Chain A
Amino acid sequence: MSKLRVVHYINNFFAGVGGEEKADIPPQARDGVVGPGLALSKALGEEAEIVGTIICGDSYFGENTKSAKEEMLKLIEMYNPDIFVAGPAFNAGRYGFACGEMATFIEEELQIPVVSAMYKENPGVDMFKRDMHIIETEISAADMRNAVPKMAKLVLKLAKGEEVGSPAEEGYHERGIRVNYFHEKRGSERGVGLLVKKMNGEECVTEYPMPVFDRVDPLPAVADITKVKVAIVTSGGIVPQGNPDRIESSSATKYGIYDISGMNDLSADDFMTVHGGYDRAFVTENPNLVVPLDVMREMEQEGVIGELANYFVTTTGTGTSVGNAKGFGEHFARKLVEDGVGAVILTST
C-alpha cells in the first residue's frame, strides 16, 4: 500500500521564517517537512508521509482570510493529499484561528480528514471544536513532543476510517457531540444509584448537563396590524400534495416555501401534511387547521390585517434539531424581511 499523503500547515514563526515582523508573508508551499513537521513525520511513522508544507503569516491570514484560503487550497490540491494537519498552535490566537479556518475549509473542499492542536484558552478551540478534532495541548511549544503523537494517531485513525475514541481517550477538546454507547448498567439502575448518592450528599455526576438555549426577546407589539403584511410560518408539516421538496416526517433537514396567491383556503386536494409527530387525520381533511389560510383571507378582506404574504413557510417540527431549526429561521427570515413582511403567525402542532 502506498503511503498516505499528508499536507502540513504552519505559520511564519514555526516555519522559521521569522516572528512578528514576518507575520505578513503570503502563502507559500514547500515540498516535504518544515519545522514541527519533522516531529510529525516521525509520529506518523511508515504509514504516512508529509509531502508538502504550507506556510502563511498569521497577520496575512487574518487580514486576507478569504483569499488566503483560496490561494492555499490551490497549493494544497497540487499535493493531492489524503490528510491535512494544521499546527499545533498552542496558545497563539491568530495561529489557532488560521489552523481552524484552514482545516475546516480543507475538510469541506477536499473531503479529507483534518486535525489541529491548541491550548484550551486559544480562541480557535471554541470557534472550531464542534466542526473538527483539536488535540488539547499545554500553553507553549514546550508541549510539542506530547501533542504531535496524539495528532498523528488521531489523524491516521480518521484516514483509515477507524473508530475514534472519546475526548479523554484520544486527547482532543470535547466537541459537544452526543455519541451513543452501551453502559454496563441499565438506565433505571443508574438513576436509583444517583438518587441514593444525591440524598446522601455525595457527589453525583449528571450524564447530560443542561443545555443553554438561545432565547430571542420578542419585539414590541405591532403598532398597527391593519397596515402590516403578515406571513404564515408553520412547523406542522403542511406541504403541497406529493411533498415536492421531500421534507422529512421527523428530524427535518429542510423547509419549503409554497405559493398561496389566488387561493382563499388550502384545499385538501392540493395540500397534505407529512408531519410524523401528531395524528394527521383531521388536518388531512382540512389543512387550514394548521395553515389557517381561510381565516387569514377573511381578515385580509375585512382589513383586519394589511395584507397576507402570497406564500407560507413550512417544515416539520418533530425531532428537528435546534441547530437545523435555527438555521432555517435565520435563512427564511431574510426573505420575509426583504419581502416586506412585518409580522409572522407561527403555528405549531
Chain B
Amino acid sequence: MRLELGKIKITDVQPGEVTKVENGTLFVNKQELIDLAMKDDRIKGVKVEFARPGESVRIAPVKDVIEPRVKVSGTGAMFPGMINKVKTVGSGRTHALVGANVITCGKIVGFQEGIIDMSGPTAKYTPFSETFNVCIVIEPVDNLETHDYEQAARLAGLKIGALVGEAGRNVEPDEVVVYETKPIAEQTAQYPNLPKVGYIHMLQSQGLLHDTFYYGVDAKQMVPTFMYPTEIMDGAITSGNCVAPCDKVTTFHHLNNPVIEDLYKRHGKDLNFIGVILTNENVFLADKERSSDMVGKFVEFLGLDGVIITEEGYGNPDTDLMMNCKKSTEAGAKVVLITDEFPGRDGKSQSLADAVPEADTLVSCGNGNVIVEFPPMDKVIGTLDYVETMIGGYEGSLRKDGSIEAEIQIIIASTIANGYNTLSAKMY
C-alpha cells in the first residue's frame, strides 16, 4: 500500500467568504461550518473562533483535535466508517493542511477534556499552541444525554475537519512525502538483511467514554488485527475518547502517528517496517488475555524481530502494555515501550501501575502529575467552569482572575504516550 501525502503548510487562519487556502492562509467561512454542525439536531448552538500561536487565548474543555485532510485520489474518503462509507483507505494521494487544526470544545462531556494555552508558560506542553486553530464551540440541546452529546461533538469535529480539508484538494502541496509498505512476502524480500519491525498500537477501549474507532468499529468490540501504516493517515482510526487530557491520542495524533512516521524514516536503512498490529485496552481480564495472546501470535506469525508498543491512558492499560510486552518478547521480538509516568505530585511513587521484567527498554513521555501555574489569558474559548473537576484540576485550582494551578495532565496531549512530544522524565 502506497500513499502520497501532500503537505500544505498553513501559516495563518482568517475569516473569509469561501473556505479556501491561499498563499498559506486558511480562509474559513464560519457560517458554512456552523450550518454543517447544526444539521445534527442534538446541537443547539455553534460558535467558530480562531486561536493562533502566541495569542493570549485559553481553549477549554477541549474534546478532540482534527487536522484537515482530503483524499485527492485512491479509494475511500476521510474517516471511513464514521462520516464516509466504509472503504479501505491508505493508498493514492491525500492532502493535509499542516499547521491548521479543527478543535472541538464547549460544555464538558465528562471529566476528561483538557486545556490548550496558545501562549504563556504552559503553551510548550501541547503541540496545538503552535498551530492555527479553528475552534468549534458546541452547545448541546438542553438535557442531552452524555453519550449522545459526546457522539454529536465527535462527529461534528470529523465533519468539519473533512470540510475544511476540502480546501486543500486543488492546492499544490509544499511537500509530498511517499509512504509505502508492501504485502509481507514482498516487503520482506525488499530488505532481506534488515530486521523486521512492527508497531503495536494499543487503542483506548476501556469504554464508558473511553473509546476509539477503527473504520467505525468500536475498538472494544474488535480483536487485534493488522493494518497497513498508511491507513491511519487517511483517518481509519478516530478518537472517541475522553481519556485524561494529557495522554489523549486525538484524531490529529492518529493522522500524524509519530511512531509510524519515525519508523518510516529508518525504513530501508536500519529496519524493515512491516506494519501495524492494532489492539485494544479492554477492562476485563479475559479480554486482556485474549488480545495480548493474539498480539503475540501476530508477532510470531509476521516473524518480527522488533516491536514498539504504545498505550493510551494510564493505570488500567499499563497491564495491557505489560502483557503485550511479555508476550511479544516470548514470540521472539525485541521490545521497546513508550509511555508516560504518574509517580504522584512528589514524583516519588511508582510511575506505572504494573511491571514485568521484560519491560527493560522504555521511553518516558514525562510525569503527568507535575503541578504548573497557568497565568490568566485575555480570552477564553469555551469555558473554565469545569477546571476544578477536570483531570489534573482540584478544589482551588481556578482563581478569580482566571489563573489556574493544576497538574500538567490537564493539558491536552502534554504527556501523550506515543512519543509525539519531546517531554520526558529522569530520576533525580
Contacts and interface: CB of A to CB of B under 8 A. Distances in A.
B197 A251 contact: no
B338 A186 contact: no
B428 A195 contact: no
Interface stretch (A77-85, A199-207, A216-224): A199-207
A210 interface: yes
B361 A198 contact: yes
Interface stretch (A53-61, A68-76, A108-116, A277-285): A277-285
A162 to B, nearest CB: 15
6 contacts: A174-B428, A188-B338, A209-B360, A250-B407, A279-B210, A321-B342
Interface string B340-363: 011111111111100111011111
Given A189-B262, A208-B364, A277 B350 contact: no
Interface stretch (B214-222, B286-294, B387-395): B387-395
Nearest to A182: B422
Interface string B416-427: 001111111111
Interface of B: 110-112, 124, 145-147, 195, 197, 206-210, 242, 244, 258-259, 261-263, 265-266, 270-271, 305-308, 314-315, 334-336, 338, 341-352, 355-357, 359-370, 389-395, 407-409, 418-428
A276 interface: yes
B114 to A, nearest CB: 12
Contact of B336 (A186, A191, A278): A191
A199 B426 contact: no
Most chain B CB within a 10 A radius of its CB, from A192, A212, A250: A192
A167 interface: yes
Contact of A186 (B258, B389, B408, B409): B258
B198 to A, nearest CB: 10
A188 B426 contact: no
A324 B110 contact: no
Given A179-B425, A321-B346, A323-B346, 5 more contacts: A166-B428, A182-B424, A184-B422, A188-B259, A279-B147
Contacts of B390: 249, 276
Given A178-B343, A181-B426, A322-B350, A250 B392 contact: yes
Contacts of B195: 199
A186 to B, nearest CB: 5
Contacts of B342: 251, 319, 321
Contacts of B368: 319
Interface SS of A by simple majority: loop
A48 interface: no
A69 B336 CA distance: 48
Contacts of B427: 167, 174-179
Contacts of A176: 348, 427
A257 interface: no
A40 B143 CA distance: 68
A208 B115 CA distance: 27
B87 to A, nearest CB: 29
B122 to A, nearest CB: 12
A212 B357 CA distance: 10
Most chain A CB within a 10 A radius of its CB, from B145, B197, B306: B306
Most chain A CB within a 10 A radius of its CB, from B146, B342, B344, B392: B344
Interface string A158-195: 00000010110000001111111111111111111011
Contact of B426 (A166, A212, A249): A166
Contacts of A136: none
Contact of A178 (B206, B355, B395, B425): B425
Contact of A187 (B307, B363, B394): B363
A248 interface: yes
A246 interface: yes
A248 B394 CA distance: 6
Given A199-B305, A208-B425, A274-B389, A179 B347 contact: yes
A210 B347 contact: no
A262 B394 CA distance: 32
Contact of B391 (A199, A204, A276): A276
Contact of A251 (B344, B359, B424, B426): B344
Contacts of A185: 422
Contact of A208 (B110, B145, B341, B408): B341
Interface in A272-297: 274-281
Contacts of A280: 110-111
A210 B420 contact: no
B424 A183 contact: yes
Contacts of B366: 180
Contact of A323 (B208, B210, B348, B367): B348
A130 interface: yes
A281 B424 contact: no
A249 B418 contact: no
B428 A191 contact: no
B262 A249 contact: no
B245 to A, nearest CB: 10
Given A130-B348, A178-B367, A199-B334, A249 B389 contact: yes
Contact of B361 (A206, A274, A321): A206
A196 interface: yes
A187 to B, nearest CB: 3
Contacts of A166: 426, 428
